[in-house]
Amino acid sequence: MLVIKALHISLVVAWFAGLFYLPRIFVNLAMVPADSEAERERLLLMAGKLYRFMTPLGILAVGLGFWLWFGFGFSGGWLHAKTALVTLLILYHLYCGQLLRGFVAGTCTKSHVWFRWFNELPVLVLFAVVFLVVLKPF
């Protein structure tokens, strides 16, 4: 079970790297001048590749989390709270995909300031999850 836990932690770290960096690419995309098509295309290529790379990492991280859940049992309020936060992260990930499709279609009108704030959500969730897992406060 320790191997599963180590793989789960590693995959979560890799998934979070994508969750931190993809919205940062969105900040840059939102700032691209209208006449800079090459820069826009380069950023879209980067964002698309990153999203396709981080999606399987997230799926594997969540899958191994379920394996651990069934191996150790689902007890304690902290685990319910962690599960809710992981659900929020999955929705965040899927919304990033929707935003990326909006950038590709040229329909995303959110500002770079909005994306800077949007980029902070996974940081807050990460802190909350780590504290829940380590402290098990309830």
Cβ(29)–Cβ(43) under 8 Å? yes
pLDDT in tens, 64-96: 999 998 887 777 889 999 999 999 999 999 999
- Residue whose tokens read 């829940």: 132
What is the mean pLDDT of the segment spanning 117-131?
Answer: 97
Cβ(11)–Cβ(57) under 8 Å? yes
What is the mean pLDDT of the segment spanning 30-38?
Answer: 95
Q: What pTM does this model have?
A: 0.94
What does the CA dihedral 62, 9, 5, 66 come to, rounded to 10 degrees? -10
Ranges of each domain in the chain:
2-135
Q: For residues 95 and 77, give the distance between their C-alpha atoms in angstroms, rounded to a whole number.
A: 27
Q: For residues 29 and 59, give the distance between their C-alpha atoms in angstroms, rounded to a whole number.
A: 26
